């Protein structure tokens, strides 16, 4: 062990677990799997990208999601789409990609920083000033299909899975936090 390292006491260890879980809950947010808000930001202006965006919105609404314009809460899908061609110029369909990110409020991002972290706080403030809100990248995927509708179907399944996965993780963390809090209450004081 490094010099000056002290092993945390039992009380400190018990306090750290709920704190870490709470920070995770702040990151993932208190949403549940249904009625999630998703914003779709089309990063391209090609005909394929526009058709893909419209189809993706329709498919996600059918899954029960609330689709908004650029929104400062919830999930954001960064969408790319274009026609795919061989090197000889023959059309081979459409390629699209979707990156799913979770938007954090400034307070949520700051809560994840160590207390008194000036550099971390400066980073959050700078990022927020430039981007509007801090975000956490959850995942991304690329799909290829015969047309923009097919690619949108593939990407909607992917987005649905990514959002539900993060919601399920949030719910599991919530249960773990409750369990840990109950164990702390029942633990004898020494």
CB contact set of 178 (below 8 Å; sequence gap of 6+): none
The pTM assigned to this predicted structure is 0.63
Task: Look at the block and give the residue holding tokens 């981007």.
Answer: 131
**69 in any annotated domain:** yes
Beta partners for residue 136, in sequence order:
102
Q: Tell me how many domains the chain contains.
A: 1
Residue 140: give the domain boundaries: 35-185
In a domain, 170, yes or no: yes
State the Cα–Cα distance between residues 157 and 136, nearest whole angstrom. Answer: 20
Instruction: Tell whether 66 is covered by a domain.
Output: yes
pLDDT, one tens digit for every residue, the chain (190 residues): 455 545 555 444 444 445 444 444 444 444 444 468 898 989 999 999 999 999 999 999 999 999 987 766 788 898 999 999 999 999 999 999 999 988 776 555 555 555 666 666 676 667 666 656 677 778 899 999 999 999 999 999 999 999 988 877 766 766 676 677 677 667 666 5
**Is residue 79 assigned to a domain?**
yes
Residue 146 sits in a domain of what CATH number?
Answer: 3.40.50
Domain presence at residue 7 = no
């Amino acid at each position: 062990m490094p010099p000056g390292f002290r092993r945390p006491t039992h009380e400190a260890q018990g306090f750290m677990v709920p704190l870490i879980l709470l920070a995770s809950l702040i990151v993932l947010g208190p949403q549940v799997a249904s009625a999630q808000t998703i914003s779709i930001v089309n990063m391209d202006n090609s005909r394929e990208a526009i058709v893909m965006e419209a189809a993706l919105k329709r498919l996600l609404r059918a899954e029960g999601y609330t689709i908004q314009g650029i929104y400062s809460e919830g999930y954001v899908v960064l969408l790319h789409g274009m026609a795919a061609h061989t090197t000889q110029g023959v059309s081979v369909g459409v390629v699209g990609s979707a990156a799913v990110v979770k938007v954090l409020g400034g307070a949520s991002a700051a809560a994840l920083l160590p207390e008194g972290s000036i550099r971390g706080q400066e980073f959050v403030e700078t990022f927020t000033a430039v981007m509007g809100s801090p975000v956490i990248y959850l995942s991304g995927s690329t799909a290829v299909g015969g047309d923009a509708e097919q690619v949108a179907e593939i990407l909607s399944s992917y987005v649905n899975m990514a959002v539900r996965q993060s919601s399920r993780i949030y719910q599991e963390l919530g249960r773990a936090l409750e369990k840990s809090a109950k164990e702390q209450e029942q633990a004898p004081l020494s």
